[in-house]
Amino acid sequence: MSDDSTRARTAVVTGASSGIGAATARALAAEGFRVVCAARRSDRIEELAAEIGGEAITCDITDQASVDALAAAVPTCHVLVNNAGGAVGVDRVDGADVDAWRWMYDVNVLGLVRVTKALLPALRASGDAVIVNVGSTAGRWAYEGGAGYTAAKHGVKVVTETLRLELNGEPVRISEVAPGMVRTDEFSLVRFGGDQERADAVYAGVDQPLLAEDVADAIAWVATRPSHVDIDELVIKPRAQAAAHKVHRS
């Protein structure tokens, strides 16, 4: 339910073309925010922006010039959701594809840093801002075949914690929302190079994995707390998942 405290406020969501990002854009728009949908796929974010009354800005968070253009278009920002990220492959450390690991670090960690650094002046200008970094339970647990992704998401966790320290005393709150098993159209499909069968096997027999809308609901809740309330971190898993290696399957 929106109120006067959120009307006309601006939220920027990266990776808004699908999954958690698109769901978050919708959730924040429902709370009354003017949402800037940022992603590489222009057609998707333009459709989304038209649906929610927001604005689409094509942005590749791995490209500094693209990030600078995003920042130039957003003079004041009340909520920044650093959602863009992803995983590629399930290589063991002794068989690591270093290029894939480099991509994961660039998009999950360096991309987050680029966007945050570029938008901090706009966040400060709002007088009351929130940064929500979308992390993962992979930033808390190690698992075989996941070191490239878990290393990147551990990086997200530590960058978030450091920002909280460095911006203490400023009108900017810092939060991390860290989901566990979330079934979206693209995450596992991208991870397995388009292999639908392998992607589907991740969720096989799992009673109700999280949906993008569940995570978006949590992000919107974090972003709409009173200005003195900072949700440092929120870990959200489906009931069926106790840990990375412990998932109930029927």
Catalytic residue among 105, 143, 149, 203: 149
Q: Give the tokens for residue 117.
A: 């650094």
Which has the closest alpha carbon to 231: 240, 219, 217?
219
- Whether 149 is catalytic: yes
Question: Using CA atoms, how far apart are residues 250 and 246, in angstroms rounded to an integer?
Answer: 13
Eight-class DSSP state of 169: T
Residue type, 166: E
Residue type, 30: A
What separation in angstroms does the CA of 204 have from each of 87, 88, 197, 208?
Answer: 19, 20, 10, 10
3-state secondary structure of 47: helix
3-state secondary structure of 187: helix
Quick one: CA dihedral 210, 189, 111, 158, positive or negative? positive
Question: Using CA atoms, how far apart are residues 228 and 237, in angstroms rounded to an integer?
Answer: 26
Which has the closest alpha carbon to 21: 63, 64, 52?
52
Residue type, 157: K
* Active-site amino acid positions: 149
